[in-house]
């Protein structure tokens, strides 16, 4: 098996400049996704998010995307595992002002496939309710940018390995997402997921599942939900590009069953990968 | 004059690992401050903010502070210029979870003294009102952490060199600060500055000026202010560790005079440096 490997701007490297604005200010974005036999899964969705986020952050991206795709072909042909792609605004001077000439930094990190013991997709997971709240910042909402302190603090609330995710609410007590995943609820056969217009990350898997559900004519709702709404749901699951769909079976002291809509979406997801 | 120089974990270096959590998630803090003949100005306030922010972010800091102070003595003896200190959570694995053993990264960057043409402290500056809003995130408020995208976007709203700062409001339209500075208003001889409990940075210079004003029995108010309150002020000024106090003379189409309280605080600030 290939060991972890890293390329910076198209050459093997494990370091970046301390003047990189990705470090100085978190001025950049990242994508983490599975790669199978050299093919990054759901790449068009990851690429689209990367491009739109960079545009929002003033990072010229078009030539960078092409370079990333070339890197993947060149360095990761036939590889299976996890790929993290980081794009930053590149090196800068002191101060928030963007440099007159922006040369983005692109970083590809390859990691071996992640294995999750105890088959969480099949048997479901236990989660906790995090104390950490997500702030409200519409101008930042949706992006997978490098400013991730709220997620870091939320994830630091548990150490025990039998908890696999945390439910995170915003400062107005609306349920938003997991620390590393998006959240779906099922009620009376219809699918509900929190709006992400004020905080949260527009997950690629969330978007993919919304497409799959729409194609199956499952009724979809995006809205603002309280914890009580979550607790009153028939089914709850988390999703992201690496884990797929993880059903929630326990948010202590509450338990949930893994229901038919969750199982159907898992099957549709599996099938969609085979088509890709 | 010494050129720009950089030290990482006590040795000359210009790079950090791509796995550093400062880059991956903005998991760290920084301080930017003047250094005069080897002495970092207002160091006790910078050190206190650095320590408390690291504690909020789960970064073990005590031994790092001592190492930073030793670095300054060793590498910057007799230097005059600008020092940026960055402390991160160090290298990590993939994922938000903190590593079991945290070895913080400390970075010292020395830059030559900054010169501001046109004597902004004496003649005042022109500023603009930024469209970019600050999100509300009490758990992040006050820290000089590495998640600075809102400041980057606010600062990107102007290029013209005759504007030297931008006024930034929060999403509820309260005036909070400048893009790189804190903001004070004077009304009827009393000093007003926005509360920073929901967003914004607790500036070291802001804190120092609050101390100086209190010692002079100037009446102080911290509160929530609208743009109309700012426009109705007798005097307005920005402050930070590098610029000191910059009076606002124009927020187009409005103009302001540089008044006696601003001048008094500038004099007190100058005197306080001589005492340090």
Query: What tokens appear for B218 in the block?
Result: 């100037």
Asked whether residue B139 falls in the same domain as residue B230, the answer is yes
Global pTM reads 0.96
Provide the pairing of β-strand B182-187 with A175-178.
unpaired
Query: What tokens appear for A72 in the block?
Result: 């993947």
Asked whether residue A258 falls in the same domain as residue A163, the answer is yes
Over 60: is that where the pLDDT of B2 sits? no
Over 80: is that where the pLDDT of A1 sits? no
3-state class (DSSP) for residue A223: strand
Over 90: is that where the pLDDT of B94 sits? no
Confidence of residue A162 (pLDDT cuts 50, 70, 90): very high
Query: What is the arithmetic mean of pLDDT over B119-128?
Result: 97
Asked whether residue A53 falls in the same domain as residue A185, the answer is no
B177 catalytic per annotation: yes
Distance CA(B214)–CA(B193), nearest Å, equals 13
Distance CA(A18)–CA(B219), nearest Å, equals 43
Query: What is the arithmetic mean of pLDDT over A35-52?
Result: 97
For helices A260-275 and A204-215, what crossing angle results, to 10°?
100
Query: What tokens appear for B101 in the block?
Result: 């053993």
Asked whether residue B101 falls in the same domain as residue B153, the answer is no
Over 70: is that where the pLDDT of A266 sits? yes
B187 catalytic per annotation: no
Distance CA(A148)–CA(A201), nearest Å, equals 10
Query: What is the arithmetic mean of pLDDT over A28-32?
Result: 98
- Average pLDDT of the residues of chain B: 96
A114 catalytic per annotation: no
Which residue out of A149, A165, A176, A197 would a mutagenesis test of the B interface target, given it has the greatest number of B Cβ atoms within 10 Å? Answer: A149
Query: What tokens appear for B240 in the block?
Result: 């930070």
Over residues B176-232, the pLDDT tens digits come to: 999 999 999 999 999 999 999 999 999 999 999 999 999 999 999 999 999 999 999
Over 80: is that where the pLDDT of B62 sits? yes
Asked whether residue A143 falls in the same domain as residue A165, the answer is yes
> Among the three residues B111, B135, B150, which one is the final residue of a domain in this structure?
B111
CATH code where residue A192 lies:
3.20.10.10
Among residues A39, A80, A144, A190, the one annotated as catalytic is A144
Asked whether residue B254 falls in the same domain as residue B125, the answer is yes
Over 90: is that where the pLDDT of A199 sits? yes
Query: What is the arithmetic mean of pLDDT over A237-255?
Result: 98
Residues of B in contact with A147 (CB under 8 A): 25-26, 146-149
Residue B4: the pLDDT is: 64
Asked whether residue A225 falls in the same domain as residue A133, the answer is yes
Question: In residues, how long is chain B?
Answer: 276
Residue B127: the pLDDT is: 98
Residue A115: the pLDDT is: 87
- Average pLDDT of the residues of chain A: 96
Q: Determine whether the interchain pair B22/A23 forms a contact, defined as Cβ–Cβ distance below 8 Å.
A: yes
Question: In residues, how long is chain A?
Answer: 276
Asked whether residue A100 falls in the same domain as residue A228, the answer is no
Distance CA(B243)–CA(B230), nearest Å, equals 21
Query: What is the arithmetic mean of pLDDT over B21-45?
Result: 97
Distance CA(A89)–CA(B133), nearest Å, equals 21
Which residue out of B6, B106, B149, B240 would a mutagenesis test of the A interface target, given it has the greatest number of A Cβ atoms within 10 Å? Answer: B149
For chain B, give the percent of residues with pLDDT over 70: 98
Distance CA(B82)–CA(A107), nearest Å, equals 30
* C-alpha A65 chain-centroid distance: 19
Instruction: Measure the N-to-C terminal CA separation of chain B; round to a whole number of Å.
Output: 24
Structural contact between residues B257 and B250, judged by C-beta atoms closer than 8 angstroms: no
The backbone torsions φ and ψ at residue B146, rounded to the nearest 5 degrees and listed phi first, read -90, 5
CATH code where residue B71 lies:
3.30.470.10
Asked whether residue A62 falls in the same domain as residue A105, the answer is yes
> Among the three residues A111, A136, A158, which one is the final residue of a domain in this structure?
A111
Residues of B in contact with A14 (CB under 8 A): 17-19
- Number of CB atoms found within 10 A of residue B60's CB: 14
Q: Determine whether the interchain pair A23/B6 forms a contact, defined as Cβ–Cβ distance below 8 Å.
A: no
Distance CA(A95)–CA(B158), nearest Å, equals 14
Query: What tokens appear for B60 in the block?
Result: 């073990």
Structural contact between residues B107 and A18, judged by C-beta atoms closer than 8 angstroms: yes
Confidence of residue A210 (pLDDT cuts 50, 70, 90): very high
Asked whether residue A129 falls in the same domain as residue A262, the answer is yes
How many domains does one find in chain B?
2
Asked whether residue B175 falls in the same domain as residue B98, the answer is no
Query: What is the arithmetic mean of pLDDT over A67-71?
Result: 98
Q: Walk across the sheet containing B81-88 and list its strands.
A: B11-12, B5-8, B105-111, B81-88, B28-36, B39-40
Asked whether residue B73 falls in the same domain as residue B35, the answer is yes
For the question of an ipTM over 0.85, the answer is: yes
Among residues A32, A86, A105, A193, the one annotated as catalytic is A32
Query: What is the arithmetic mean of pLDDT over A263-272?
Result: 97
Distance CA(B168)–CA(B250), nearest Å, equals 15
Segments forming the whole domain that contains residue A80: 5-111
> Among the three residues B111, B129, B158, which one is the final residue of a domain in this structure?
B111
Over 90: is that where the pLDDT of A2 sits? no
Over 90: is that where the pLDDT of A118 sits? no
Tokens 């870091």 label which residue?
Answer: A152
């Amino acid at each position: 098996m290939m060991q972890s490997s890293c390329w910076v701007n198209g050459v093997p490297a494990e370091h970046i400049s301390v003047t990189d604005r990705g470090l100085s200010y978190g001025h950049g974005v990242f994508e983490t996704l599975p790669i199978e036999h050299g093919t990054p899964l759901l790449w068009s969705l990851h690429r689209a998010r990367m491009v739109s986020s960079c545009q929002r952050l003033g990072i010229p991206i078009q030539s960078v995307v092409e370079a990333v795709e070339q890197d993947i072909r060149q360095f990761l042909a036939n590889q299976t595992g996890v790929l993290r792609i980081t794009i930053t605004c590149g090196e800068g001077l002191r101060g928030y002002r963007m440099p007159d000439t922006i040369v983005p930094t692109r970083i590809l990190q390859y990691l071996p496939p992640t294995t999750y013991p105890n088959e969480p997709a099949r048997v479901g997971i236990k989660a906790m309710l995090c104390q950490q709240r997500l702030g409200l910042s519409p101008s930042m909402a949706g992006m997978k940018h490098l400013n991730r302190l709220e997620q870091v603090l939320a994830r630091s609330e548990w150490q025990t390995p039998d908890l696999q995710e945390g439910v995170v609410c915003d400062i107005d007590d609306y349920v938003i997402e997991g620390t590393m995943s998006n959240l779906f609820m099922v009620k009376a056969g219809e699918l509900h997921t929190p709006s992400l217009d004020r905080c949260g990350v527009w997950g690629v898997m969330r978007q993919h599942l919304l497409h799959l559900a729409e194609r199956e004519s499952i009724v979809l709702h995006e809205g603002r939900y309280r914890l009580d709404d979550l607790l009153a749901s028939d089914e709850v699951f988390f999703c992201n590009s690496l884990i797929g769909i993880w059903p929630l079976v326990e948010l202590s002291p509450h338990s949930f069953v893994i229901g038919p809509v969750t199982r159907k979406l898992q099957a549709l997801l599996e099938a969609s990968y085979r088509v890709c």
